[in-house]
């Protein structure tokens, strides 16, 4: 066994609201000597004296992971701070990629992942239970994979009649990919399929839009938006006098109408 005395925790803060930060995450943040992360996530963590902050820019995941592994190997108690769940389109995969490809002296490190509420769960909770049955989570970011792979997965998800949760639907550099995704899905799923744009759920600027595949305007999705697209069973229910429709996917075909 290696003698490295530092440790590395990869922490999920959840989507933004303090009430979604788990006790495990809170405890690990309190114990850390160093916080490493994308600057807006570090800003969510209360300041502590004697705790060193290493803020970095977006798209710097591998460099950030290497920095965290080096600090931990030097004996620091390092927390990599991630939004949502670090295991779902966030920092955990980057740390393990860096660990596998990196320095042999990193290999004995104690590395722990602390799960968190991810954006699709927060969005689903606000709406009802749209993820109430089989679903897929797909990142539309084509920084590291080709559009061909993304399109193959969108097609398979439509063929399997899954509910879809789309992460990273748009960026300033690639505003087109959410439009391409909708074109792919519109060719394969019924026009009345429910579509939800859930922006910044749990944060002050939260905004939720419920629409249909036919009527959706994909241009409203930004990098803070999680998009949910229903299966053939997903239902939008409203009655006169109720505040907002709820959206849910029944647990089986028996509940379909």
Query: 24 or 222, CB closer to a second copy?
Result: 24
Task: Give the nearer residue to a second copy in terms of CB position, either 53 or 155.
Answer: 155
Give yes or no for a contact between 35 and 52, defined as CB atoms under 8 angstroms apart. Answer: yes
Beta-sheet pairing, 110-114 with 34-38: unpaired
Among residues 77, 78, 95, 210, which is the contact residue for a second copy, using CB under 8 A? 95
Residues 8-27 that bind a second copy (CB under 8 A): 14, 17-24, 27
Q: Binder to a second copy among 45, 81, 124, 196 (CB under 8 A)?
A: 124
We find the least distance from the C-beta atom of residue 226 to a second copy, in angstroms, to be 13
Residue 34 or 85 with smaller CB distance to a second copy: 85
Residues 100-119 that bind a second copy (CB under 8 A): 100, 107-108, 111-118
Structure tokens at 194: 């429910």
Whose structure tokens read 């989507």? 15
Show contacts with a second copy in window 37-66 (CB under 8 A).
61
Q: How far is the CB of 49 from a second copy (least distance, A)?
A: 24
**Binders of a second copy in range 192-251 (CB under 8 A):** 235, 237, 239, 241-243, 246, 248-251
Q: Report the nearest approach of a second copy to the CB of residue 101 (Å).
A: 8
- Work out how close the CB of 1 gets to a second copy at its nearest, in angstroms, rounded to a whole number: 6
Q: Which of 6, 16, 37, 128 binds a second copy (CB under 8 A)?
A: 128
Number of residues this chain uses to bind a second copy (CB under 8 A)? 82
Structure-derived torsion over alpha carbons of residues 149, 152, 158, 162, reported in degrees to the nearest 10? -50
Nearest to 166 by CA among 189, 210, 196, 129: 196
Please choose, out of 30-38, 40-48, 80-88, 175-183, the segment that lies near a second copy by the rule CB under 8 A.
80-88
- Other CB atoms within 10 A of residue 100 CB: 9
Phi, psi of 251 (to 5 degrees): -75, -10
Residue 255 found at the interface with a second copy (CB under 8 A): yes
Site for a second copy (CB under 8 A): which residue of 38, 41, 135, 197? Answer: 135
β-strand 194-199 against 207-212: which pairing, if any? antiparallel
Burial of 231 (0-12, 13-18, 19+ CB in 10 A): buried
Residues 151-180 that bind a second copy (CB under 8 A): 152-153, 155-157, 159-162
Phi first, then psi, for residue 77 (nearest 5°) are: -100, 100
* E strands, the chain, in order: 7-12, 34-38, 52-56, 77-82, 110-114, 128-129, 135-139, 163-167, 194-199, 207-212, 225-229, 235-237, 246-248
List 49, 144, 187, 204, residue binding a second copy (CB under 8 A): 144
Closest C-alpha among 126, 160, 142 to residue 247: 126
């Amino acid at each position: 066994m290696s003698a490295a005395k530092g440790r590395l925790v990869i922490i999920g803060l959840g989507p933004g609201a303090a009430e979604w930060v788990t006790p495990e995450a809170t405890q690990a943040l309190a114990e850390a000597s160093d916080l490493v992360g994308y600057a807006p996530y570090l800003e969510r963590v209360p300041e502590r004296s004697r705790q060193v902050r290493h803020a970095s820019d977006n798209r710097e995941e591998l460099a950030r992971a290497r920095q965290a592994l080096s600090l931990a190997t030097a004996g620091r108690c390092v927390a990599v701070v991630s939004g949502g769940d670090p295991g779902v389109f966030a920092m955990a995969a980057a740390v393990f990629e860096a660990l596998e490809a990196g320095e042999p002296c990193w290999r004995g490190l104690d590395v722990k992942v602390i799960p968190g509420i991810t954006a699709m769960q927060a969005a689903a909770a606000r709406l009802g239970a749209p993820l109430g049955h089989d679903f897929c989570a797909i990142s539309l970011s084509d920084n590291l994979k080709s559009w061909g792979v993304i399109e193959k997965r969108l097609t398979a998800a439509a063929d399997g009649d899954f509910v879809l949760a789309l992460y990273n639907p748009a960026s300033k550099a690639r505003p087109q990919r959410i439009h391409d995704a909708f074109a792919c899905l519109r060719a394969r799923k019924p026009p009345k399929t429910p579509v939800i744009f859930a922006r910044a759920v749990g944060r002050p600027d939260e905004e939720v839009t419920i629409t249909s595949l036919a009527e959706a305007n994909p241009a409203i999705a930004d990098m803070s938006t999680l998009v949910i697209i229903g299966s053939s069973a997903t239902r939008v229910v409203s009655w006169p006098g109720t505040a907002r429709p709820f959206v849910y996917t029944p647990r089986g075909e028996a509940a379909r109408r």
